[in-house]
Chains A and B, each alone.
Chain A
Amino acid sequence: MISLTSPIRTRAHSWPAGLKLAGLCLSTVVLFFIKDLTAQVAIATVVATLYALPGRAFLAAGWRHLRGFWFFVLIVAIYHTAVGEIYEGAVILLRLLSAIALANLVTMTTKLTDMIKVVRFLAKPLTIFGLSSKILELSIALVIRLTPVLVEKGSLLSQSWRARSRRKTSWRIILPFTILALDDADYVAEALKARGGFTLLKEN
């Protein structure tokens, strides 16, 4: 989600985020009821056209985001070839790719702050059970902020391993990585406290 940004500003950027997400929900449900290959090919073509509309740069960015799923495509393809259900396999694959592509499309054309506003709206009923929507928002922001930091820490840890080992990094770095992450969490909690923490957050 962090890297799922658009290289250009499209017309869809100004559409309401809630509407886009509702549309995504509906189209994904519809996708699951369509079992006809021709219809799925038609839908996939429409999705590809949507990506092509804002121009070449957008289409290329969209393709890059989708390319990461090649492994799942491969597994589904191998399985269905093995059990001899080529037609069903093709329907499932097209459905999967269209659904992911549509979801990416919404993410690419929606600003994070707009997305968080939708979450705040949806979480409103939960406030009667004591959930603060401010805390929820803060948590989302923290995840987005700290994921690149943790990825960087993980890669540094794996480099320290490789600097002193001929073998590949193993699962044994998971424990030190967890401790590192918990330690970081302590510091961030302190920084949060230094600027008022949750107590003042709830009062606002």
Chain B
Amino acid sequence: MIQAPIHSDTTQEIGNDVDLAAVSFDVDGQQILHDITFKTNAARVGIVGRNGSGKSTLARILAGLITPTSGVVRVNGHNLAKDRRAALAEVGILFQNPDHQIIFPTVIEELSFGLTQTGQSDPDAAGMAQETLNQFNKSHWRDANISTLSQGQKHLVCLMSVVAMAPKLLILDEPFAGLDIPTKTQLNRYLSHYSGSLLHITHDPADLQSYDHLIWLDQGAVQETGPCDQLLKSYQEKMNLIGGQDDISDLSD
């Protein structure tokens, strides 16, 4: 059986080694990410930046879903773009839109799928999926049809599906954008119980208040890295400053 990925006490969260060296990513000659270098093993890592700063691309590179044009990415020493089998144990990724993530029509099938992919037999996978539902007190969701769930509930299904696979690092790509305050608070509470480490990507400083290490991305490059308080303050100031200007007029080349 997997180790319980959700815990209620205050167990120390474990960090993972995330190591990027001179990572760049181009699409059709246009540079999306430029010479990204950082190293961290904090348990709660946040990446902030404006829309279009390359945050989502970086999330996909970290998860090994796309290969950087140049540079080296290592998560706990693994090259996840090449080693997909290791990738499943190392990282899980939560996308912004649940309809882009949920593959199966019912909750139990969706949770079981990732587990069978890690080599579990069908009955074992179903058992472990049920176990995850129980941990979240959602055993009554088992046979629910995805199309009947609310948007917030779909987000929770995505979270449970990834948590069931117990990855060491959970990457969140603006996971709760557009949700109302109570739903967001409830989902954040589930997240805060996750015993693996988190890498949370967002444009909203409010999401990252209690995070250990932050990386600020601007126009595809690292603007600043550092502890939460200091970095969020300068980020907020800069965002307010730009907010007073009119760079929305600028068209990209």
**What is A's interface to B at a CB cutoff of 8 Å?**
2, 112, 138, 141-142, 144-145, 148-149, 184, 187-188, 190-197, 199-201, 204
Mark contacts of B101-122 with chain A using CB atoms, 8 A cut-off: 1 yes-contact digit, 0 otherwise. Answer: 1111100010001101111000
Could you tell me the distance between the alpha carbons of A8 and B19 in the complex, rounded to whole angstroms?
Answer: 55
Shortest distance in angstroms between B32's beta carbon and chain A's nearest beta carbon?
16
**What is B's interface to A at a CB cutoff of 8 Å?**
60, 63, 65, 84-85, 88, 92-93, 95, 97, 99-105, 109, 113-114, 116-119, 146-147, 161, 165
Q: B148: nearest residue on chain A (CB-CB)?
A: A148
In the complex the two chains form, is A188's CB within 8 Å of B84's CB?
no
In the complex the two chains form, is B118's CB within 8 Å of A145's CB?
no
- B85 surroundings in chain A (CB, below 8 A): 196, 200
Could you tell me the distance between the alpha carbons of A191 and B98 in the complex, rounded to whole angstroms?
Answer: 10
Q: A145-B146, A200-B84, A200-B85 are in contact. Are A191 and B103 (CB under 8 A)?
A: yes
Could you tell me the distance between the alpha carbons of A149 and B93 in the complex, rounded to whole angstroms?
Answer: 21
- A149 surroundings in chain B (CB, below 8 A): 99, 147
Among A145, A187, A199, contact of B84 (Cβ-Cβ < 8 Å): A199
Task: Kindly list 4 other residue pairs between chains A and B, CB separation below 8 angstroms, not including A187-B100, A190-B100, A191-B100.
Answer: A2-B147, A149-B147, A190-B65, A195-B165
Among A141, A190, A196, A201, contact of B104 (Cβ-Cβ < 8 Å): A141
Q: A197: nearest residue on chain B (CB-CB)?
A: B84
Max chain B Cβ within 10 angstroms of own Cβ: one of A188, A190, A192: A190
Q: A187-B95, A204-B119 are in contact. Are A196 and B103 (CB under 8 A)?
A: no
Could you tell me the distance between the alpha carbons of A187 and B104 in the complex, rounded to whole angstroms?
Answer: 14
Could you tell me the distance between the alpha carbons of A148 and B146 in the complex, rounded to whole angstroms?
Answer: 10
Q: B119: nearest residue on chain A (CB-CB)?
A: A204
In the complex the two chains form, is A200's CB within 8 Å of B117's CB?
yes
- B97 surroundings in chain A (CB, below 8 A): 187
Q: A199: nearest residue on chain B (CB-CB)?
A: B84
In the complex the two chains form, is A194's CB within 8 Å of B63's CB?
yes
Shortest distance in angstroms between A186's beta carbon and chain B's nearest beta carbon?
9
Shortest distance in angstroms between B168's beta carbon and chain A's nearest beta carbon?
15
